[in-house]
Amino acid sequence: MKNLAVFSSGFGSNLQAIVNSVKKSKVKANIALVISDNVDAYSLVRAKKAGIDFLYADPADFKDRTSYDKFIVRRLKKEKIDYVVLAGFMRIISDYFIRQYKHKIINIHPALLPSFKGTQAISDALDYGVKVTGVTVHFVTSTLDGGPVILQSALDIKDDDTLISLSERIHRLEHKLYPKALDLLVNGKLLVKGRKVFVKR
């Protein structure tokens, strides 16, 4: 069974969705470790409640991003982590980290990439006036929100949507799509060729 490390800086709703999917055997993997850069992250509480080992590492204790990531990677190697799952992790990870886990780090983004990159994707889509947005699961590369797309799911924006209502529907979609992508990943069903990701049959 593959070992996962889930990285989360905040509330951890996607972490909880993954925990639930593992418990229900919808994702056949072991969440070996939860890592956060925020001591107050509720994701750490979720990990504790689920009996999952967790680590808080303060970026202020390290001289630069690479030093931080080298510390984290050493812990991942010790725990024999196979895949890294970013779930609301608000730090950009270094090229060093990405090289250590090429095509083994995935992230979820609340928009249909390559549209609306960055941390304000939901409000950016709403403000722009697009009629359709959605969710993207992608591999992580050195380009911000620019890695090969694994899965996407679209969502119509309603005329009366607010940031709150659209965010709620986006998050519900994330909680369905992320476990699906993770299941494909841990079962070796994904084949990456350049920018394209194919699902093996």
E strands, 8-158, are 29-36, 54-56, 83-86, 105-109, 132-139, 149-156
Please identify which of the residues 109, 138, 171, 175 carries the catalytic annotation. 109
Q: And the tokens for 165?
A: 């209502």
Peptide bond into 114 cis (omega under 30): yes
In what order do the strands lie in the sheet containing 132-139? 54-56, 29-36, 2-7, 83-86, 105-109, 132-139, 149-156
Q: Is 175 a catalytic residue?
A: no
Dist. CA 17–CA 65, nearest whole Å: 29
Q: Which residues are known to be catalytic? A: 109
